[in-house]
Structure 1
Amino acid sequence: MAAIQLYCPFCGQKLSIETEALRVQTTCPRCAKSFVPIDAIPRDQTLPAIKVSGVVDAEAPPPPAEAKAPAKKPSSLAGQVDTILLPPNGGPLPIVTGAQRPAAPEPAPKEFAQEPAPTTATNALPAPTAPPVLDGPTLIRTAPPEPTANAPEKADALAATVPVDPPAPEPPAVAPKTLEVTVPAAPSVETTAPAASEDLPQVASDGLAATVTAEPEAPAVIPPPPPKPAPTESAIPAELAACASTLLGSVRVSGSKALGFEHVALVAALAAVLSIVLLVVTNVGALRVLGAFFGTITLAAVLLAGAAFWLVRSRRDASAPPALSQRARLALIGGVVGSLALGSAITGILAATTGGPGELLHANHLPPPKLPPKPELPPEQRADFKLKREGHVFVNGGLLHVPPKFRSDDGAFDLYMHFHGNTNLVEESATSAGLNALVYTVNLGNGSGPYEDKYSVVGVLDQTIEKIQDTAKKQGLRDARVRRVALGSWSAGYGALAKLLDITKNVERIDSVLVLDGIHAAYLDPKAKTVDPVRLSPFLRFAKLASEGKRLFTITHSNIGGTEYASSAESADALLREVGAERAPAQATPPRVTTKTALAAFNKGAQETRLEQTTEGKKGGLHVRGYSGQTPDQHMAHLVQMSVTVLPELAERWKE
């Protein structure tokens, strides 16, 4: 089937069109514009012939062998193949068959050239007719020439009519051509045809020949392709579609099935939903940031994959240039940036409007749900119904005491362990503060050394707690088990706390620490009063937990100084600096205590010694209070008045 090579009139793309589709609207695969191919063919181009099934008249008998035309040099187009001349007005392509061609007269012999031959009624030939007018495309069929001596000349004439690609810049002038139509002639019976005129020369052939002189035609010239125009707005989607088609073309899933952009969009949409759900339901800052980040990325991926899927489906273009043009690159970058901006806006709006369940509850100012009060159990059903509360019980180097108002319904109890201080004073202070816990007091003598030596052994805290728990069971507490633990110290008792807080396992079990004028450390530089951070490191780790609200760490200190080691005030200042807390002036006087042991603890004449607060620093669960005074009685006042300074904070924290 013949095909025509032509160029797209819009972008110059070279195309191959079948002859049967010359008048069918065609879409250029490059610029995606439609046109009729025959309108894009130059008027001076010669097209290959369309093979025609029609033949010459079958009823016409072959000419007699004795009737031959005089020999004459055949025309230059005598052996040319079938040719179609395009009409100038773009009309239909008529096909001239044997039945439609006018019959040419039989040439007469030379001796009868001057007289008209008589004709009969039965075998009369039609009179010579005028040459056919070539108004439109005409199919000219010629019989194959017989081998003659002038075959090279015919070959040259045939080559002159074949289109050449690329064409010569200046085609040479061509002489007028003679077009021949040859059909089998009817047998001549006693007839003579009139002599042909000078305008209609005759050609030797097996039949009659009708010769028509046509206007000279220039050789068929195919113009060079026009320069490629700059990409227009309609060509940019075609370029993007071609790049999108090749982006995932090499990826194969399940053998031969290609991964498509619709699959990418579906997976990205699922990931976006999960990210948004994580952003909405969580209150954790890191998880919300993670959800917002992945939500933005996945939403942008959904938009980009959807756009690529639409481009590939709507513009199937396999001939787009491999490299994107400048405008196409700018369009691609703009699409990516716009998708990211839209995804970021969506996740930002969701983050601002949701804020997690906890934030929503706080924003709506909803009160916390009220738990129904526990039903009051009768005394005989409580776990402490048979618990002995009088006296002290010696346990692992300390004394265990059950306050009179201690209560446990199920056997669980809190434990306050105090190091260094009058046992009765500590017990009365806990009772006065309303602390619902068992009280364990340890006194190992003066100085912090004995406390450091005993409690530097790993596991001593767990051993002591287990023995206290077993003792409570023996004292009558049913199902006795320790729930929360608090450590307290006064003066030299800080040595036990320094060793116990230096063990990570102990820190995980200890809930609160109370220090009464007792944290001391060595100097790194005595002149600069720089406190040794290594000696403070156990207290510093617990202070950081307290500043975050995870623990309770309350400290009181006096202004006693002038020693070779850091005072309790200097140690407290170092802790505040490390956690980023600051002191503020404070003027407060704790209430006076009136318990029997507290009044007897002071020297005679010093019963009216009371703490006078001057500064205060607080951050989270870390609370530091500074008091004036440098005398021993003022140092003792921190222990005596613990029931109105540090123990109420612990009782409030442990209140159920």
Structure 2
Amino acid sequence: MFIKQLIFFFLLIALQRVTAQTNTQLAQYPSPMKETVRRHERVAFEMEFSKTIVLNNLLPKPVTIYLPANTHKLKQADLLIHFHGLAPVVAYAAHQYKRPIIAVSVNLGSGSSAYAQPFNNDSTFEKLRKAVLDTVIKHLGYPLTAGKIILSGFSAGYGAIRSILSQPVYFTGIDAVILLDGLHTSYIPERKVLAEGGLIDSVSLEPIIQFARKATNKLSGKKFMFTHSEIFPGTFSSTTETANYLLNKLGIKIKPVLKWGPLGMQQISEASKGNFYVLGFAGNTAPDHIDHFHGLFHFLHKL
């Protein structure tokens, strides 16, 4: 009898664990991963070999540099450093840019911590910036200075930008930030959503809030754009929730709109002040999320 009770007890525990795992998965991925209504067009761009440079041994994974279209006697170029996303898409954004710009693609893996940790070191970003410029100068064979420094991040890539902006020595030198459906934080208590009484853990958002506040004043020279989808992760804040939190902190109202965005995206909200912009787009699926990255060329031009 005791053995039967013991077996039943262990079976009950196993069942509870399976149920808990299932509930966790549903909480993280509540939306369908297929969507056929919006166009979800994708950027197709062939990077010229002669304009592409790969840096090894600088970060945990190789860094790709793409040179401006016309480098003849170029004296200055803006610097776009993008975190998380295929290099050809970033290169296309640079190719469409109206000013000479060097496009740098940094891919370090999945999860914001993969991007945040390397840049917690106060010398990593400066090493990256210097290595890029030195390599480009060596490739071109003549001096070149960096103009505006623009940081963009898609999805988990925001982790690197947050770490960089956390350091005052870099905060001042960054001219613009673009976050593409990527800015999250934890709930307090952990995994307790806002609808159930949870709160936003604002500590990790503070560097972003400070930069955004600067951008609301055009005289600061800083620019900030944050795009978000309607995806709801469930176990940590969605980009919609962090956008709303950011806007509330800055005292900026959201305006509902109906507009076409790039590549078939459908814009449903906007908010702005000075050179600070938040754009909301329809969709809660994986293709909707990736739309934001492929729209980098559009958002870079708009900013």
Instruction: Give TM-score scaled by structure 2 length.
Output: 0.76
Once the two structures are superposed, residues 242-295 of structure 1 have per-residue CA deviations (whole angstroms, 9 ceiling, x without a partner) of: xxxxxxxxxxxxxxxxxxxxxxxxxxxxxxxxxxxxxxxxxxxxxxxxxxxxxx
| 1:394 and 2:64 aligned | no
Tell me the equivalent position of 1:504.
168
Task: Tell me how far apart the structure 2 counterparts of residues 584 and 431 of structure 1 sit (CA, whole Å).
Answer: 32
Q: In the alignment, which of 259, 265, 268 is matched to residue 611 of structure 1?
A: 265
Tell me the equivalent position of 2:127.
463
Task: Tell me how far apart the structure 2 counterparts of residues 420 and 407 of structure 1 sit (CA, whole Å).
Answer: 30
Tell me the equivalent position of 2:88.
424
Letter in 2 for 1:530: L
Larger radius of gyration between Structure 1 and Structure 2 = 1
Q: In the alignment, which of 265, 278, 295 is matched to residue 624 of structure 1?
A: 278
| 1:648 and 2:301 aligned | yes
Q: CA deviation at 1:403?
A: 2.8
The residue matched to 1:536 in structure 2 has which SS? helix
Letter in 2 for 1:447: G
Task: Tell me how far apart the structure 2 counterparts of residues 617 and 406 of structure 1 sit (CA, whole Å).
Answer: 37
| 1:542 and 2:207 aligned | no
Q: CA deviation at 1:529?
A: 4.0
Q: CA deviation at 1:481?
A: 2.1
Unaligned stretches of 5+ residues in structure 1:
1-387, 593-609, 651-656
Q: CA deviation at 1:572?
A: 0.9
Any residues of structure 2 matched to 1:203-602 within 5 Å, and which?
389-394=50-55, 396-397=58-59, 398-405=63-70, 409=74, 411-525=75-189, 526=192, 527-549=196-218, 550=220, 551-592=222-263
Unaligned stretches of 5+ residues in structure 2:
1-48
Tell me the equivalent position of 2:41.
none
Once the two structures are superposed, residues 509-567 of structure 1 have per-residue CA deviations (whole angstroms, 9 ceiling, x without a partner) of: 10000000000001124232421110110101101101112210001000001411111
Task: Tell me how far apart the structure 2 counterparts of residues 475 and 533 of structure 1 sit (CA, whole Å).
Answer: 43
Once the two structures are superposed, residues 158-178 of structure 1 have per-residue CA deviations (whole angstroms, 9 ceiling, x without a partner) of: xxxxxxxxxxxxxxxxxxxxx
Task: Tell me how far apart the structure 2 counterparts of residues 444 and 399 of structure 1 sit (CA, whole Å).
Answer: 12
Is the contact between residue 419 and residue 443 of structure 1 (CA under 8 Å) also seen in structure 2? Answer: yes
Is the contact between residue 406 and residue 437 of structure 1 (CA under 8 Å) also seen in structure 2? Answer: no
Once the two structures are superposed, residues 64-85 of structure 1 have per-residue CA deviations (whole angstroms, 9 ceiling, x without a partner) of: xxxxxxxxxxxxxxxxxxxxxx
Is the contact between residue 417 and residue 488 of structure 1 (CA under 8 Å) also seen in structure 2? Answer: yes
Once the two structures are superposed, residues 163-222 of structure 1 have per-residue CA deviations (whole angstroms, 9 ceiling, x without a partner) of: xxxxxxxxxxxxxxxxxxxxxxxxxxxxxxxxxxxxxxxxxxxxxxxxxxxxxxxxxxxx
Is the contact between residue 523 and residue 532 of structure 1 (CA under 8 Å) also seen in structure 2? Answer: yes
Once the two structures are superposed, residues 555-598 of structure 1 have per-residue CA deviations (whole angstroms, 9 ceiling, x without a partner) of: 10000014111111110111111111110011111243xxxxxx
Task: Tell me how far apart the structure 2 counterparts of residues 499 and 614 of structure 1 sit (CA, whole Å).
Answer: 30
Is the contact between residue 416 and residue 438 of structure 1 (CA under 8 Å) also seen in structure 2? Answer: yes
Once the two structures are superposed, residues 83-140 of structure 1 have per-residue CA deviations (whole angstroms, 9 ceiling, x without a partner) of: xxxxxxxxxxxxxxxxxxxxxxxxxxxxxxxxxxxxxxxxxxxxxxxxxxxxxxxxxx
Q: CA deviation at 1:421?
A: 0.2
Task: Tell me how far apart the structure 1 counterparts of residues 244 and 111 of structure 2 sit (CA, whole Å).
Answer: 23
Point out which structure has higher relative CO (alpha carbons under 8 A, 6+ apart): 2
Letter in 2 for 1:626: G
More helix by share: 2
The residue matched to 2:121 in structure 1 has which SS? coil
Tell me the equivalent position of 1:43.
none
Q: CA deviation at 1:472?
A: 1.5
Is the contact between residue 586 and residue 613 of structure 1 (CA under 8 Å) also seen in structure 2? Answer: yes
| Percentage of matched positions with identical amino acids | 28
Letter in 2 for 1:544: R
Letter in 2 for 1:391: T
Once the two structures are superposed, residues 312-351 of structure 1 have per-residue CA deviations (whole angstroms, 9 ceiling, x without a partner) of: xxxxxxxxxxxxxxxxxxxxxxxxxxxxxxxxxxxxxxxx
Task: Tell me how far apart the structure 2 counterparts of residues 641 and 461 of structure 1 sit (CA, whole Å).
Answer: 25
Relative distance call for 1:642 and 1:435 in structure 2 (3 A) is: farther
Cα RMSD (Å): 1.7
Task: Tell me how far apart the structure 2 counterparts of residues 522 and 591 of structure 1 sit (CA, whole Å).
Answer: 30
The residue matched to 1:510 in structure 2 has which SS? coil
Q: Could you list the runs of 4 or more consecutive aligned residues of structure 1 that deviate by over 3 angstroms after TM superposition?
A: 405-409
Task: Tell me how far apart the structure 1 counterparts of residues 235 and 258 of structure 2 sit (CA, whole Å).
Answer: 30
Letter in 2 for 1:584: K
Once the two structures are superposed, residues 334-380 of structure 1 have per-residue CA deviations (whole angstroms, 9 ceiling, x without a partner) of: xxxxxxxxxxxxxxxxxxxxxxxxxxxxxxxxxxxxxxxxxxxxxxx
Task: Tell me how far apart the structure 2 counterparts of residues 591 and 632 of structure 1 sit (CA, whole Å).
Answer: 17
Q: CA deviation at 1:406?
A: 5.0
The residue matched to 1:581 in structure 2 has which SS? coil
Is the contact between residue 407 and residue 436 of structure 1 (CA under 8 Å) also seen in structure 2? Answer: no
Greater shift, 560-569 or 526-535, is seen at: 526-535
Task: Tell me how far apart the structure 2 counterparts of residues 435 and 647 of structure 1 sit (CA, whole Å).
Answer: 11
Relative distance call for 1:572 and 1:477 in structure 2 (3 A) is: farther
Q: CA deviation at 1:407?
A: 6.2
| 1:635 and 2:295 aligned | no
Q: How many residues align?
A: 244
Letter in 2 for 1:648: H
Letter in 2 for 1:611: M
Task: Tell me how far apart the structure 1 counterparts of residues 110 and 231 of structure 2 sit (CA, whole Å).
Answer: 18
Task: Tell me how far apart the structure 2 counterparts of residues 531 and 620 of structure 1 sit (CA, whole Å).
Answer: 26
Instruction: Give TM-score scaled by structure 1 length.
Output: 0.36
Q: CA deviation at 1:460?
A: 1.1
Relative distance call for 1:642 and 1:406 in structure 2 (3 A) is: farther
Relative distance call for 1:516 and 1:408 in structure 2 (3 A) is: farther
